[in-house]
Structure 1
Amino acid sequence: MNHLIVYAHPSSESFNHAVLDTTVSTLKEKGHQVTVRDLYTLGFQPVLKPEDTAALRAGQTPSDIKIEQEHIAQADAITFIYPIWWTGMPAILKGYIDRVFSYGFAYAYGETGIDKLLSGKKGLIINTHGTPKEIYDQIGMTEGLKVTSDIGILEFTGIEPVDHLLFGSVPSVGEEALKANLKQVQDKVASLF
Structure 2
Amino acid sequence: MKHLIVYAHPNPESLNHAILDKTVNALKKNGHEVVVRDLYELDFQPVLKPEDTEAMKAGNTPNDIKTEQEFVAEADVIIFIYPVWWTGLPAILKGYVDRVFAFGFAYSAGAEGVIKLLEGKKGFIINTHGTPNEVYDEMGMTAGLKVTSDIGIFDFTGIEPVEHLLFGSIGYLDDEGYKDILMKVEDTINSYFS
Q: TM-score, normalised by structure 1?
A: 0.99
Counterpart Cα distance in 2 of 1:151 and 1:86: 19
> Please, what is the CA RMSD of the aligned residues?
0.5
Write out the 4+ residue segments of structure 1 that deviate beyond 3 Å after TM superposition: none
- Alignment-derived partner of residue 173 in structure 1: 173
- Alignment-derived partner of residue 75 in structure 2: 75
User: For 1:25, what is the secondary structure of its paired residue?
Assistant: helix
Counterpart Cα distance in 2 of 1:69 and 1:150: 19
Matches within 5 A, 1:99-118: 99-118=99-118
Counterpart Cα distance in 2 of 1:23 and 1:110: 38
User: For 2:6, what is the secondary structure of its paired residue?
Assistant: strand
- Alignment-derived partner of residue 14 in structure 1: 14
- Alignment-derived partner of residue 57 in structure 2: 57
Counterpart Cα distance in 2 of 1:174 and 1:44: 33
Q: List gaps (5 residues or longer) in structure 2.
A: none
In the TM superposition, residue 113 of structure 1 has moved relative to its aligned partner by 1.4
Q: TM-score, normalised by structure 2?
A: 0.99
- Alignment-derived partner of residue 30 in structure 1: 30
User: For 1:119, what is the secondary structure of its paired residue?
Assistant: coil
Number of residue equivalences = 193
In the TM superposition, residue 170 of structure 1 has moved relative to its aligned partner by 1.0
In the TM superposition, residue 174 of structure 1 has moved relative to its aligned partner by 1.2
Instruction: Find out whether 1:129 has 2:129 as its counterpart.
Output: yes
Counterpart Cα distance in 1 of 2:169 and 2:89: 17
Counterpart Cα distance in 2 of 1:175 and 1:45: 35
- Alignment-derived partner of residue 42 in structure 1: 42
